[in-house]
Amino acid sequence: MAAKRLRNWDSLVAKSDSPCFVLDVQRRVVLFNRGCEELFGWTMAELGDRECRYVTEPDPLQPESVTSILAPPEEVWQGESIAVPTFVRHRRSTERPLSKLIRFTPLLDEEGLCQAVWGSIGELTSTNKPDKPRPSHSVHTELAALRISLRQQYELDRFIAKSPVMKSVLEQIQLGVGKSQPICLSGERGVGKQHVASIIHHADNPQSRAFVPLNCNSLTDFQLEEELQQLFAASDDDQLPSGLQPGTLYLEEVEYLPREIQQWLVQQFSSVTSQRRPRLMVGLRQSLAQLREDNVFSTEFFYLLAPLQIHLPPLRERPEDLPLLAQFFLEQCSRLFEIDQQISGFDSSVWEQLKQYHWPGNLNELQTTVRDAYANCLGSEIALDDLPFSFRTGRDAQQLTDPLKEQEPLDIALKRIEKELIEETLADCRQIKTNAAKRLGLTRAKLYRRMENLGIPLDDE
């Protein structure tokens, strides 16, 4: 009888209420017992043969929300037993996730090579916490907890915000969700303005209308006008499928939008059919008030955009978010580029370099740096030598000089300088425009046109 029970040990494990699982050498689930099924709300039939990758997935309805938790750190595949704290949610639960401890044990062959990994899930208490978890394990766990929390509290899972300044941005984003009024997003190059606009759009249109981004600086006036006319025509076409109808029009670098098109948009969103129009969102680098003061926007266009403004801070002002963002971008690479070697995080020496860097390109530059480092990496963690040449040269330049400041767009800088020069010359000439025009090398009529274009009052002498 005892021998029979021993031969059926795999059946006993499969039916055990103690959660445990086994992954084969291809990181695929070959055992997911009854205890795991009760804990997660997923079955072996649903997860069997799925690959477990080192990512985070906050949506409990996606199988990756489980397989990502079952993925062992790379050290386990090298023969090291490791206990890792994690957060577990049941598939159909709306409660807070449970704190658990997963013990990963490599199953070695006669030559000491790992052929499978055994995992057991138990309670996480103050007495069984790992003494010194590796930084990559800690950041991965913290990122998973944050994404779950943001999804539960704000229904957002594509946004990383831990710092106080970004929590304030989150509250502003919530004000924009479910509304129809335009949104003005301001911030430096690369801070994620289009990403935030997309998040708000998809929160309003989870399965339906399209998000349409246009860059006002990369299109000619004719191209921009043509694109907008086609866009608004599509919003009036009832024959188009909902997926092809524009739900949000996002204008990036809207400070380059010509005055004529500004006025046309004001008319479109003020007409009786404006409820059929896509929602307007814009991105700009300077504040809306400063652009109005510099006479870049018409008064009507300014008031169209003014009601809801969200400023996105540069990366250097949100240091608490940097490790989580870097880990998030790394895990995005793990999803997109399937390689045999699992890259789970960053070496501790890399964190110091990332934190000291100024990041003039903000999130875009961080994402590119992580992607290039991922491509260079041959180990289980990104090391200093894996950081791309562009990052190292930028870091060295910052150590020799002051950090690079955000460059003011050339057109705006020239208008500001011209306005300041004309105003100073008028003051020197006691507002006598004939003398000011002569000093500036202009005719009186041309000076008047310049003043009108720059918003300088045309007072009588």
pLDDT in tens, 104-114: 999 999 999 99
Domain end position, chosen among 400, 425, 446: 400
Q: Which pLDDT band, with edges at 50, 70 and 90, does 461 fall under?
A: very low
Considering the domain architecture, whether residues 246 and 290 belong to the same structural domain is answered as yes
Whether 193 maps to a domain, the answer reads no
| Tens-digit pLDDT profile for residues 302-332 | 999 999 999 999 999 999 999 999 999 999 9
Please check whether residue 258 lies inside any domain of the structure. yes
Are residue 336 and residue 379 in the same domain, yes or no? yes
Cα torsion 190, 156, 149, 123: sign: negative
pLDDT digits (tens, 9 = 90+) for 273-299: 656 788 999 999 988 988 888 888 999
Angle, helices 135-154/322-336, rounded to nearest 10 degrees: 90
- Report the distance separating Cα 115 and Cα 370, nearest Å: 31
The pLDDT of residue 427 is 85
Does 240 share its domain with 127? Answer: no
CATH, residue 175: 3.40.50.300
Phi, psi of 233 (to 5 degrees): -65, -40
Q: Specify the CATH number for the domain of residue 335.
A: 1.10.8.60
* pLDDT confidence tier of residue 3, bands split at 50, 70 and 90: very low
* Residues 329, 346: Cα–Cα separation, whole Å: 12
**How many percent of the chain have pLDDT more than 90?**
50
Using one digit for the tens of pLDDT, what is the confidence trace for 163-200? 999 999 999 999 888 888 999 999 999 999 999 999 99
Quick: pLDDT tens for 46-98.
999 999 988 999 888 999 999 999 999 888 998 999 998 899 999 988 888 89
Q: Which domain holds residue 430?
A: 412-454
- Residues 6 and 71 reside in one and the same domain: yes
Confidence of residue 204 (pLDDT cuts 50, 70, 90): confident
Whole-number Å distance between alpha carbons of 50 and 23: 9
Of 264, 295, 311, at which residue does a domain stop?
A: 311
Residues 105 and 229 in one domain: no
- Percent of the chain scored above 70 by pLDDT? 92
Looking at the fold, whether 331 and 430 belong to one and the same domain comes out as: no
Are residues 146 and 6 located together in one domain of the fold? yes
CA 52 to chain centre: 24
Residue 341 — very low, low, confident or very high, per pLDDT cuts 50/70/90? Answer: confident
Query: 9 with 121, same domain?
Result: yes
Q: What are phi and psi of 114, to 5 degrees?
A: -75, 125
Is 73 within the bounds of a domain?
A: yes
**Cα dihedral across residues 445, 446, 451, 452: positive or negative:** positive
Q: How many domains does one find in the chain?
A: 4
Residues 341, 271 share a domain: no
Contact 337, 331 (CB under 8 A): no
